[in-house]
């Protein structure tokens, strides 16, 4: 099979879909790998390193899309990339379609086979291709939030860990999954006072056991969210409904009584955000202010630490890339229900229920399209 990886073109996105080690593995299995020139330069991987691993270096993204049977990326295809997709071509990347009707329309019209990293599952019901980036985003959310809390950045001027004789900051984390757990780890390590809200009693028991008396765990209700965000210095939104738009848990009305300079970091922004006042931002302009509250809503947070993120992500995706390349997409998807859960769009039909529901498309089960 011909596998292609173009250079990412989203704002300040330096990650890359394949590393030289991944290229070498694919070439060893008899496949041809096409890498757009300079695709890895943002994380210090040269064209020469890719060529030494066996890749063919091509000059433009158009050449990659025109020649490859399988496109392996990191971020969702931008409009110019959607226009280059063709019928029966396989796209394997993050999609986050529920809040993105334009992208969904482009994928449907292309009649490609679009498999989303974020809805691929494992045998335990986890999301193994989302988890590495959730770990990164969770940890980054605290350092980004701590910087935004500085007075010069528009925050309230509170030091996250405090100092002797002065209280540490109050950090509220809404959602105790992978993002929330990793955010709590870093916040606790920096000396903040941490509260975690979640609706799973089993998850709250786990977090309570792991963090012992270093964090407070609360069952998430509207009242609990409202009470906690009103006293917080930093709020982390880390709610995930796989494939679906994130629920709006902090409403616009709540902002009116939140103290000026409070910082809210919406890690769920890829799925539309869990704050009603959220809108996507970039690493170039990461924050904006609504009713005196600082919002950080960067839609590709792990891209800020692109080298770490690339290697963490490709460690998880490579086995699936190999399966798609070795077996062909149809057989790979039939053989592996966990990979099949990643199929969001197939030859003009929406094959993921939550995406169909969110965007108003007819849902066609993946097996029906295979």
Catalytic residue list = 96, 270
CA angle at residue 50 from 44 to 56, to 5 degrees? Answer: 140
Cβ neighbours of residue 257 under 8 Å, at least 6 residues apart?
230
Element (H, E) at 208: helix 201-211
Give, rounded to a whole angstrom, the gap between the first and last alpha carbons of the chain: 19
How crowded is residue 364: how many other Cβ atoms within 10 Å of its Cβ?
Answer: 18
* CA 207 vs CA 16, 88, 145, 244: distances in Å: 33, 44, 22, 25
Alpha-carbon span 297 to 306, nearest angstrom: 17
| Lookup result for tokens 């270093």 | 214
Measure the CA angle with vertex 92, ends 98 and 52; round to 5°: 150
CA atoms of 197 and 190, how far apart (whole Å): 20
Other residues' Cβ atoms within 10 Å of the Cβ of residue 117: 23
154 sits in the region (left: phi over 0; alpha: psi -120 to 50; else beta) called left
* 8-state DSSP, 35: E
- Positive/negative CA dihedral, 235, 192, 141, 186: negative
Could you give the angle at which helices 20-28 and 306-327 cross, rounded to 10 degrees?
10
Which one, of 226, 235, 262, 272, lies nearest residue 96 by Cα? 272
């Amino acid at each position: 099979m011909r596998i292609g990886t173009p250079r990412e073109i989203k704002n300040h996105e330096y990650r890359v879909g394949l590393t030289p080690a991944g290229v070498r593995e694919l070439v060893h299995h008899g496949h041809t790998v096409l890498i757009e020139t300079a695709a890895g330069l943002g994380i210090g991987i040269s064209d020469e390193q890719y060529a030494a691993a066996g890749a063919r270096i091509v000059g433009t993204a158009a050449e990659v899309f025109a020649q490859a049977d399988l496109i392996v990326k990191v971020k969702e295809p931008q409009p110019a990339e959607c226009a280059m997709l063709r019928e029966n071509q396989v796209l394997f990347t993050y999609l986050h379609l529920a809040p993105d009707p334009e992208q969904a329309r482009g994928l449907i019209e292309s009649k490609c086979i679009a498999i989303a990293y974020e809805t691929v599952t494992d045998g335990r019901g986890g999301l193994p291709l989302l988890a590495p980036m959730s770990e990164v985003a969770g940890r980054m959310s605290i350092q980004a939030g701590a910087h935004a809390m500085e007075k010069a950045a528009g925050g309230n001027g509170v030091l996250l860990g405090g100092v002797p004789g002065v209280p540490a900051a109050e950090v509220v984390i809404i959602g105790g999954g992978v993002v929330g757990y990793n955010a709590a780890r870093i916040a606790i390590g920096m000396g903040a006072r941490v509260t975690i809200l979640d609706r799973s009693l089993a998850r709250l028991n786990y977090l309570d056991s792991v963090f012992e008396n270093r964090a407070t765990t609360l069952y998430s209700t509207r009242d609990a969210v409202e009470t906690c965000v009103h006293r917080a210095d930093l709020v982390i939104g880390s709610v995930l409904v796989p494939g679906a738009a994130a629920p709006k848990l902090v409403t616009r009305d709540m902002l009116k009584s939140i103290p000026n300079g409070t910082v809210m970091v919406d890690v769920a922004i890829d799925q539309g955000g869990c704050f009603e006042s959220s809108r996507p931002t970039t690493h170039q302009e990461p924050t904006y202010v609504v009713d005196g509250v600082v919002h950080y809503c960067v839609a590709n947070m792990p891209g800020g630490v692109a080298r770490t993120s690339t290697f963490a992500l490709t460690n998880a995706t490579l086995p699936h890339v190999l399966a798609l390349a070795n077996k062909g997409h149809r057989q790979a998807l039939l053989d592996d229900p966990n990979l099949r859960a990643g199929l969001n769009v197939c030859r003009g039909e929406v094959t993921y229920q939550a995406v169909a529901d969110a965007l108003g498309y007819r849902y066609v089960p993946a097996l029906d399209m295979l």
